[in-house]
Amino acid sequence: MDSGSGKSYNRRVKVLVVEDEKKIASFVRKGLEERGFVVDVCHRGDEGYELATTRRYDVILLDIMLPGRDGLSILRSLREKKNTVPVILLTARGELSERVEGLNLGADDYLPKPFFLDELAARIHAVLRRASGDELSVLQAGDLSVNLLTREVRRGGAAVELTSREFALLTCLMNAPGRVFTRTQLCEHVWNYHHDPGTNLVDVYVQRVRKKINDDPDQPLIETVRGVGYRFRKL
């Protein structure tokens, strides 16, 4: 946050997903990345515990049934070490006793499978608000504001309607003002595939977003770095 300028940005929320079912893990990663989160994934409990204790995460999505080490054992060890990172348990619908034990061990929430990604994202924001306050939920740049929880975008007080891809593109750039993103990086973040040099998909979407947020061509918020890609201007 740049308090000296009077403008504020919120860093991207970093999530660790510990889930042994690879299809579910991939589904969660893609969906959360499209919503602006940074996501690490692992499929074994012992690896998940190592990541949770050696790297900083804003929230951990933790499956209970895991190879190597089960989720409740991981949660218990984290809390015994005074690690207060918010934890959301991912559980099978019949695991009532495990859910109760998990909450007693210090889990912040649980979500039975199968679940909708919008609900998962809302629960992540909810535990983050409880842990750190509302500042994580809004990106602000001048008179442009983006609410990551409600997905509401406003410019000068007027509502801006963005598609899910446009929203993901804008939040990707806004979350790292001044950082130059190549077209390949934007493709991987927003569309989850490698950039095809023969397509102008990224450029088309950038122009759409610029038009919708009424970007000033003389002092654009989304700047073109010729021959490289795009960046969100630092204010």
The domain limits of the chain are 14-132, 137-232
Q: What b/e readout covers 8-20, taking b as 16+ CB neighbours within 10 angstroms? A: ebbebbebbbbbb
pLDDT in tens, 157-215: 899 999 988 998 998 898 888 889 899 888 877 876 665 666 889 999 999 999 999 99
From first to last of the 235 residues of the chain, give the pLDDT tens digit. 333 333 333 457 899 999 999 999 999 999 898 888 899 999 999 999 999 999 999 999 999 999 999 999 999 999 999 998 999 999 876 667 777 888 889 998 888 888 888 888 888 888 887 776 544 567 889 999 988 767 889 999 899 999 988 998 998 898 888 889 899 888 877 876 665 666 889 999 999 999 999 999 899 999 999 989 999 998 7
pLDDT of residue 93: 61
> Domain 14-132 carries which CATH code?
3.40.50.2300
Residues 35, 121 contacting (CB under 8 angstroms): yes
Look up the CATH architecture of domain 137-232.
Orthogonal Bundle (1.10)
Distance from C-alpha of 107 to C-alpha of 65, rounded to nearest angstrom: 15
At 30, is the secondary structure helix, strand, or coil? Answer: helix
At 37, is the secondary structure helix, strand, or coil? Answer: coil
Distance from C-alpha of 13 to C-alpha of 125, rounded to nearest angstrom: 9
Look at residues 167, 171, 173, 227 and name the one whose alpha carbon lies nearest to residue 197: 227
Residues 86, 103 contacting (CB under 8 angstroms): no
Residues 108, 132 contacting (CB under 8 angstroms): no
Distance from C-alpha of 213 to C-alpha of 159, rounded to nearest angstrom: 9
pLDDT in tens, 154-166: 999 899 999 988 9
Token duo for residue 85: 């990172």
